[in-house]
Each structure stands twice: as structure tokens, then as C-alpha cells.
Amino acid sequence: MNEKLCCANFYQTDYARLLFGNSMHPGGLGLTKELGNKISITKGSRVLDVACGSGTSAILLAKNFGCHVTGIDLGAKNVDEAIQNAAREGTSDYTEFKTSDAEKIEYQDESFDYVLCECSFCLFPDKKITSNEIYRVTRKGGKIGISDIVLRGELSQNLRDSLYRFVCVLEAKSENEYAGYLQDAGFHRINFDDKKETLLELLDDIKKRVFAAELLLGLKKIQLEIDLDKTKRIIRELRECVESGLLSYVLITGQK
């Protein structure tokens, strides 16, 4: 299986749900709303959510900003869930979801006023192609809102390997590198806003979920084929990297 599909499949597993819940990014829906406000999403506008997962953010954006949101994700199961979630939340008229690769977005040029991408740009193996695709489908004057993990240096090889297996995060970059991809694609007014505290909070949440899973495993209430001790060790190491400033989470905005 190729690297991209393997990554998309990971985010559909029970393990990923256990770690992250439904909103699979630091800061949860609060940060999604903040991102939407930052780029001033307007009522009736067309929004694309690249790598939308199970549609949680798209549904929130449609409800809060009165916009029409298209969500694309490589994981077909995620897309099916997003369609069901939207029906349950009563936003089916304002949201649509499709299986599509961020490196080959199946929409025409300038189809969207705003393009969002949360906690996913770091996963894409070819950021140049993805940046060009996001630029292509954004209308002139339209805005982008990205939230993602930044890596400001080298992780130990051990942590790098674990992270790849743990959450597919192999390709996080520094602020300068992200800005470079977006500027090369044609975006300007690139801005960063550090949200390190959201990453620390997510790691604390994950730790609590892992403890809860351990308890349930002990009581034989669930079955999980994963090494929870190793997961706890990785979380500890990651926390150190965030506290030292090596890893963080940022909001990135820009304009076409």
C-alpha cells in the first residue's frame, strides 16, 4: 500500500479515534472557529476543507459561518462518516464530502473563496504539489487557513521512527519552510500564530485516553492490538520536544 493511503487508513482506525476523538487536531473545534474568524469567512462563501477527516470541522464551519463547505479526504470511510455526521447534524444542504487526494484536488480552478487544511499539511509527502493545488482552487483574493505541526530542528531518529508509526507525522516542517511552499505557489501575506498550548493540551488529553484504555483493557471491556506503554513513552518524549520549542502547533494564514 502506498504511503498516502497507509496514512489515510491510519486515521480511520479505532486507535486513531482513541487517541484523538473526532476532531483530530490540537485545539479542537475552538481552534477551527478561531481560524475561521482569522480569515473572516463570510456567509454564503464557498469553503474547501482539505483532508477533512470525518467532517467535524466542516459541519462546525457551515453552522457558525453560514458558508457552504466541501470536504475532501483520501480516506473513503472518513468521507462516508462525514456524510452521515452532516445528515445527523442537519447540515447536508451546506456541506458535501468527496474522496479526493490533496495532491490532485478534483475541482476546477478558483472554485473556492477560502481553503482550510487542519493538521494535515504535515502529512502530505509532496508539499509543493499540494500547495500548487490549493492555490489553483482558491479564487483570486481568496484566503487560506492552515493549522499544523511545526518542527524547528531535528528530532531524534528514534522519535522520528516512532512518530511515523504513531501518527504518520514524518513531514512536519519549520515556519520558514511552510512559508516557502506557500509563497512559491503564489500566496502572499503569510502569517503565523503560535498555538503551542493546544499541542500540550492534546498530549494531556491523549494521555488520559490511554489511561482510560488501559483500564478498559484490564477489565477486558475492549480489545486493542497496540503497545500502550510505548504510546505513553512517545507522549512523554513529545511533551519534552514541545516544551523545548522544537515542536509546536501554528495557525498559518495567507491570501491569493
Ligand X SMILES: C[S@@+](CC[C@H](N)C(=O)[O-])C[C@H]1O[C@@H](n2cnc3c(N)ncnc32)[C@H](O)[C@@H]1O
In angstroms, the CA 89 to CA 148 distance is 27
Instruction: Kindly state whether residue 124 participates in binding ligand X, applying the rule CB under 6 A.
Output: yes
Tell me the site size for ligand X, rule CB under 6 A: 24
- Closer residue to ligand X in complex, CB, 2/157: 2
Minimum distance between the CB of residue 160 and ligand X, rounded to whole angstroms? 18
Site for ligand X contains 57 (CB under 6 A) = yes
36 vs 75 by CB, closer to ligand X: 75
Q: What own/partner pairs with CB < 8 Å and gap ≥ 24 does 33-40 have?
A: 33/60, 33/64, 34/251, 35/116, 35/118, 35/145, 35/147, 35/251, 35/253, 36/61, 36/64, 36/65, 36/116, 36/145, 38/145, 38/193, 38/251, 38/253, 39/114, 39/143, 39/144, 39/145, 39/253, 40/143
What is the smallest separation between the CB atom of 36 and ligand X, expressed in angstroms? 13
Other beta carbons within 10 angstroms of residue 190's beta carbon come to 18
Using rule CB under 6 A, residue 123 touches ligand X = yes
Q: Which of residues 64-103 bind ligand X (CB under 6 A)?
A: 73-75, 78, 101-103
CA distance 86 to 142: 25
Under rule CB under 6 A, residue 23 binds ligand X: yes
User: Does 249 interact with ligand X (rule: CB under 6 A)?
Assistant: no
Cβ-based neighbour number of residue 147 at 10 Å = 27
Smallest distance, ligand X to C-beta of residue 253, A: 16
61 binding ligand X? (CB under 6 A): no
Assess 131 for contact with ligand X (CB under 6 A).
no
Chain positions 26 to 55 lying near ligand X, rule: CB under 6 A, are 51-53
Look up residue 2 and give its three cell numbers: 502506498
| Min CB(215)–ligand X separation in Å | 25
198 lines the binding site for ligand X (CB under 6 A)? no
Q: Considering just the CA atoms, what is the radius of gyration of the chain in Å? A: 18
Determine, following the binding rule CB under 6 A, whether residue 118 of this chain makes contact with ligand X. yes
Nearest CA to 49 among 116, 130, 127?
116
- Interface residues with ligand X (CB under 6 A) are 4, 7-8, 11, 23-25, 51-53, 56-57, 73-75, 78, 101-103, 118-120, 123-124
